[in-house]
Amino acid sequence: MKKVLLVDDNDMARGVLVKMLRISGYETIEASTGDEAYELTRQHRPDLIISDIMMPSGDGYQFCRNVRTDPEQSKTPFIFYSAAFTSPKDVDFAYELGATRFIQKPQNPRKILEIIKELLEDEEPLPLPDAAPSSLEEPSFLKLHSERMVLKLEEKVAELEKTRTFLETVLNSMAEGLLVIDRDYTVRDANYAACTLFNLSREEIVGRKCHELLHGLGRPCGPATAVCPFPRIFDEAQSAQTTYQHTVTCAGHVLEVIASPVRDSEGNITSMVQLIRDVTERVKLEEEVSRKVKELEDFYDASVAKELRLIELEKAVGRLRGSSPEAG
């Protein structure tokens, strides 16, 4: 069986290729970083390499250079499979390093298999240069590599800034208040609605302990406070819904809180997000409705009691008339 080394820090993307190749009769070797991939290349001598570019601990460009400068591996077919580095200059640099093919993600699996079959089953050897191209030499490589990485990082920073601005706009457009609270009870973020609700600036909210902000307490509420969502979020890993009847920052208001856990990439709960609504008017309306219902029930009960009393009086009058001498 031909051995194919798959290099990608995205487990899902790598897993799709692994399944596809195994079904097609190829043996697969997996790596998530360029450095790990190079060690596996030296150990297993794969017949073909498919590698992403943007990876931690040795990116795809560095990995390709390591392969092409290793006399024992320099002729191994090398395919770049990337979604991030796809500009003409990115692709040109890949070929300057000795890449055999460049495939842009996502790609039809059949097309990938056709390319792999072509590279592994062609009778004639691949026309690779005998001497390393100048771009493999350290000074040239470092210069070109830095240019590509710096440009890509700048693009990523710009994308992240756009995403951050978009999310900030969305959060600040919400009608409900939103707080992000860490395990140590520190408020890490607040949206515009929360600031309006508490009549405080974001700078006055962020960094404070939630028990001090909401309840004026110098210590956590603890298990004695049934309304606190912390135990359910951090101990039971469940969402929680509760109502704060008395808060310092919103005196006289009733706050409805829906709390959900926030998990990191490994699934650990790091903080919780609280969605806060001021339901004071709703509660007052519910109380007014309850009062009216109670009045109606009392009126109904009184009416029924009065009707029963009248029936009893009519029966009593009837009995009196039936026992009188005139009735005889």
Query: Is the Cβ–Cβ distance between 3 and 25 less than 8 Å?
Result: no
Cα–Cα distance for residue pair 8/55, rounded to 1 Å = 7
Find out if CATH 3.40.50.2300 is the number for domain 3-157.
yes
Cα–Cα distance for residue pair 294/288, rounded to 1 Å = 10
110, two tokens = 């059949």
| Tens digits of residue pLDDT in 24-65 | 999 999 999 999 999 999 999 999 999 999 888 889 999 999
What is residue 325's predicted lDDT score, i.e. its pLDDT?
63
CATH code, 174-278? 3.30.450.20
Nearest to 192, CA basis, from 162, 170, 214, 159: 170
> Phi and psi for 93 in degrees, rounded to 5?
-65, -40
Nearest to 64, CA basis, from 30, 89, 104, 101: 101
Query: Is the Cβ–Cβ distance between 14 and 32 less than 8 Å?
Result: yes
> Which range, of 32-41, 84-93, 203-212, 278-287, averages the lowest pLDDT?
278-287
> Above 80 in pLDDT, residue 81?
yes
> Above 60 in pLDDT, residue 131?
no
82, two tokens = 């990337």
DSSP state of 209: B
Residues of the chain with CATH 3.30.450.20: 174-278
What is residue 241's predicted lDDT score, i.e. its pLDDT?
85
Cα–Cα distance for residue pair 66/88, rounded to 1 Å = 23
Mean pLDDT of 249-253: 78
Nearest to 106, CA basis, from 243, 245, 10: 10
Cα–Cα distance for residue pair 295/315, rounded to 1 Å = 30
Question: Whole-prediction pTM value?
Answer: 0.57
What is residue 132's predicted lDDT score, i.e. its pLDDT?
53
Cα–Cα distance for residue pair 155/162, rounded to 1 Å = 11
| Tens digits of residue pLDDT in 162-180 | 888 888 898 888 889 999 9
Cα–Cα distance for residue pair 140/320, rounded to 1 Å = 123
Nearest to 64, CA basis, from 13, 27, 21, 100: 100
Residues of the chain with CATH 3.40.50.2300: 3-157
